[in-house]
Chain A
Amino acid sequence: QSLLTQPPSVSGAPGQTVTISCTGSSSSIGAGYDVHWYQQLPGTAPKLLIYSNTYSHTNRPSGVPDRFSASKSGTSASLAITGLQAEDEAVYYCHSYDSALSGSEVFGGGTKLTVL
């Protein structure tokens, strides 16, 4: 059972915008901890898509297009993908930290994005 809750699946047509939510708690996202996002293509290792650092500024590693963006509010975070492309079809995971679990890292259960 994941401690960050994501929808199992989302879908959108090419060119559209989709958002993926990630709901935590007052001891994880709500406590102000960083939230990071990963993309996993079939048969490959996860890839860091967006990371946050000091003062919760979000950043994209080199090579990640600016069609990907992230935000956070309260106990939840969101990943937005604009101008959807077929190559974006993948599973997306959110990642944070939970102080109620002895300093445990927590991940969402993953969201499968289907490009229609």
Chain B
Amino acid sequence: QITLRESGPTLVKRTQTLTLTCSISGFSLSSGGVAVGWFRQPPGKALEWLALIYWDDEKRYSPSLKTRLTITKDTARNQVVLTLTNMDPVDTATYYCAHRNSGYGHWGQGTLVTVSS
């Protein structure tokens, strides 16, 4: 059974760096074809794709946030980490990680991050 769980701070201050961890189980980050993506969703707004990392460490980023985002994986610890620098109140959102195969078939429950000014 594939599960993902996001963890990290619920409140950050403007200009700080956000670090979120996605802890996975039921699959291996080193298995061919596996990928994990990050998303966010501001309250009442649409889903936004942020980044994706593949089993072979290939990485993809949203063009609009590329300069602020970093995605990494720790295969031994079964974790995928997302960092977003220079946080601003507009970055307040629920952040999700999800397992990608054909589409994103398994999602974490999401974690709400609020940015204070």
Contacts and interface: CB of A to CB of B under 8 A. Distances in A.
Interface stretch (B15-23, B41-49, B71-79, B81-89): B41-49
A2 B48 CA distance: 9
Interface residues of A, number: 27
Contacts of A108: 46
A34 B49 CA distance: 16
B105 A104 contact: no
Given A51-B103, A107-B46, A45 B110 contact: yes
A107 B40 CA distance: 12
Contact of B107 (A2, A47, A104): A47
Interface majority SS on B: helix, strand, loop or mixed?
strand
A47 B61 CA distance: 22
Given A45-B107, A46-B107, A105-B37, A53 B102 contact: yes
- Chain A at the B interface: SS class: strand
Contact of B105 (A48, A93, A105): A48
Interface in B24-74: 37, 46-49, 52, 60-63
A103 interface: yes
Interface core residue of B47, B60, B107 (most chain A CB under 10 Å): B47
Nearest to A51: B103
Nearest to B105: A48
Contacts of A24: none
Given A45-B109, A110-B47, A104 B62 contact: yes
A110 B46 CA distance: 6
A61 interface: yes
B102 A93 contact: no
Interface of B: 37, 46-49, 52, 60-63, 96, 98, 102-105, 107-110
* 3 nearest CB pairs, A to B: A36-B103, A51-B103, A45-B107
Given A36-B103, A45-B107, A102-B61, 12 more contacts: A38-B103, A40-B47, A45-B109, A46-B47, A95-B49, A95-B104, A104-B60, A105-B37, A107-B49, A108-B46, A110-B46, A110-B47
